Structure 1
Amino acid sequence: MEYVDETLFERRYGRIAQIMKLHVQAAAIKALLNFWDPNYRCFTFGNIDITPTLEEYERILDFPNVSCRIYRRRKFEDTASEVVSLLGLGKISQCRVAEGGFKWKVIEARMKKNAEEGKLGDKRYKLVAFAIFGLVLFPSETGVISLEAASVFVEYEHDKINPSSAILGETMLSLNHCRTHGKGAMRCCVPMLYLWIISHIEAPRDIFNNFWWFDLRPLKITIDEIWKNWDEKAWRDKYAALPSSNFKWKAPWMNNVICTMSCGSKIWVPLIGVTGYISYAPALVTR
């Protein structure tokens, strides 16, 4: 990234900067939607059921020094003023749209100005992180960073919450919406979903078949890998061939990780997203 030192940025915000560099094959996601079961919140490939887990998302994103505190939706009344204060944006009215979100052009202009003036301070890193939270991790309409995404960013800065559960929750909410209605845009962190599925169906590849993959800058080596540029039909055929093709239910780099399989006596694990609530049942697909 041209605006910050990547190593220092990763120490503060984990691997979110690498997420936005991942080239997503849109055809892979479109084809994947056909295999989502909105009732059981899992992908079904023949006799194989699989679902992304909270622990997988946490390990890939690798947010540093965060506690086990998860995101809980908060009131938005003070979010805008807190963001302006954290980022040093000036007047609220100049950086917000009528619906309440923040204008990406204003954020981008501020980042460019800081770079031109050689400002390497704390706010410069926060500006970049805020942009990634709003445009990649919790996307909304084009050119706008929603108040919901801003709220997660504020809680991360103030309380060091782990936003992984909210990212996964939004993914499942979006999958359910698109599958149930047969249309709609995937308003979630699509690069994370793409990385998750290819890490399972391409598990024999050297880059994934390694217990230490998560410690070896996984997104970078995945970005550098050469992938076949298939159309939607080719991806559907690949998914339909599971599990006879290169499939692994549990990624090698998750071998020693304990996953949350229930919430008390209930098998459904709740996930709080920024736009709603959903639950999933990883115990139903365990092998």
Structure 2
Amino acid sequence: MKQLLYCNYGDIHCLLDVKVDRYLFRAMAQFWNSTYSCFTFGNVDLAPTVEEYTVLLRCLRFQVDKIYSRAVNTPTFVKRLMNITRMSEQWVAALVQQKGSGKCIPWENLRELILTHPNMKKRVDVLALSVYGLVIFPKALRHVDEAVADLFDRFGKGVTHVPAILAETFRSLSACQRVGEGRFIGCAQLLLVWFHSHFWRVENASYCHFFGDYSPLKEIVTISRRDDITEEK
């Protein structure tokens, strides 16, 4: 199952092991430059790029020249969930909820499906959908939003999701800074890993970097860090 998850969805499962340092994140957000969509530290401008995020996530099956954009005529949320889970329309329709202006499905029901679905590939697909809905695009707490299901449904066509992740990251950082508060609706785990990767000190170059199965995200996650640093420091 781990191999199937990696082959189809890259290293997204590593994001589950990333601990979000809220003090570091709040400190970073203060340096966000909404005008130029980058972090400005003194005279240095720094911003995550499509190439960096692609390397961190190791999106092997996705094509960089086919980015996600929502089509005008898309299947209903129920139809998309049926396609992803291979469950009946009655089962899916009974679980769909309305939250605010959009629809979603509770994580607890997806969790049950991951544990009990008879098809191993579908269990992996539902797990990946949950990671996208709860970690990468956490719009509704403990729920997977219909917009995530639309993006996820198109992965089979080789569409890359990295520009969508970056766009949501930039938009949410600017929105939080504009009002001076708010919940960051983006992948905080990936943004922090990207930030740490620019200040990652290595005394000697590791030969592992030249292996085809080398995972920078997995290696960065295993590095121990201090967690007692205040926001002021």
Q: Is the TM value for this pair above 0.5?
A: yes
The one-letter code sitting in structure 2 at the alignment partner of 1:98 is Q
Is residue 171–residue 189 contact of structure 1 (8 Å, CA) maintained in 2?
yes
- Per the TM alignment, residue 223 of structure 1 is displaced from its structure 2 partner at its CA by 2.0
Is residue 62–residue 160 contact of structure 2 (8 Å, CA) maintained in 1?
yes
Q: Who is 1:281 aligned against?
A: none
The one-letter code sitting in structure 1 at the alignment partner of 2:135 is V
Q: Who is 2:176 aligned against?
A: 178
Is residue 10–residue 60 contact of structure 2 (8 Å, CA) maintained in 1?
yes
The one-letter code sitting in structure 2 at the alignment partner of 1:219 is L
- Superposed CA RMSD: 2.1
- Per the TM alignment, residue 98 of structure 1 is displaced from its structure 2 partner at its CA by 2.0
Q: Who is 2:115 aligned against?
A: 112
The one-letter code sitting in structure 2 at the alignment partner of 1:193 is L
- Per the TM alignment, residue 107 of structure 1 is displaced from its structure 2 partner at its CA by 0.6
The 1:181–1:133 alpha-carbon spacing in structure 2 relative to 1, beyond 3 Å, is same
1:101 aligns with 2:104: yes
Secondary structure of 1:24's aligned partner: coil
Q: In 2, Cα distance between the equivalents of 1:206 and 1:14?
A: 28
- Per the TM alignment, residue 120 of structure 1 is displaced from its structure 2 partner at its CA by 4.9
Q: Who is 1:156 aligned against?
A: 155
From 63, 69, 94, the equivalent of 1:72 is: 69
Is residue 27–residue 232 contact of structure 1 (8 Å, CA) maintained in 2?
yes
Q: Which runs of 5+ in 2 are unaligned?
A: none
Q: Who is 1:53 aligned against?
A: 49
Is residue 22–residue 219 contact of structure 1 (8 Å, CA) maintained in 2?
no
The 1:206–1:27 alpha-carbon spacing in structure 2 relative to 1, beyond 3 Å, is farther
Give the ranges of 4+ consecutive aligned residues of structure 1 lying more than 4 Å apart after TM superposition. Answer: 206-211
Q: Who is 2:19 aligned against?
A: 23
Higher helix residue share: 2
Q: Who is 1:146 aligned against?
A: 145
From 157, 161, 166, the equivalent of 2:164 is: 166
Q: Which of 174-183 and 104-113 deviates more?
A: 104-113
- Per the TM alignment, residue 165 of structure 1 is displaced from its structure 2 partner at its CA by 0.5
Counting only pairs closer than 5 Å after superposition, residues 200-279 of structure 1 correspond to structure 2 as 200=198, 202-205=199-202, 212=209, 216-229=214-227, 230-234=229-233
- Per the TM alignment, residue 218 of structure 1 is displaced from its structure 2 partner at its CA by 1.9
% identity of equivalent residues: 25
The one-letter code sitting in structure 1 at the alignment partner of 2:67 is I
Is residue 81–residue 149 contact of structure 2 (8 Å, CA) maintained in 1?
yes
Q: In 1, Cα distance between the equivalents of 2:140 and 2:46?
A: 30
Q: In 2, Cα distance between the equivalents of 1:181 and 1:189?
A: 20
Taking structure 1 as the reference length, the TM-score comes to: 0.72
Q: In 1, Cα distance between the equivalents of 2:168 and 2:207?
A: 29
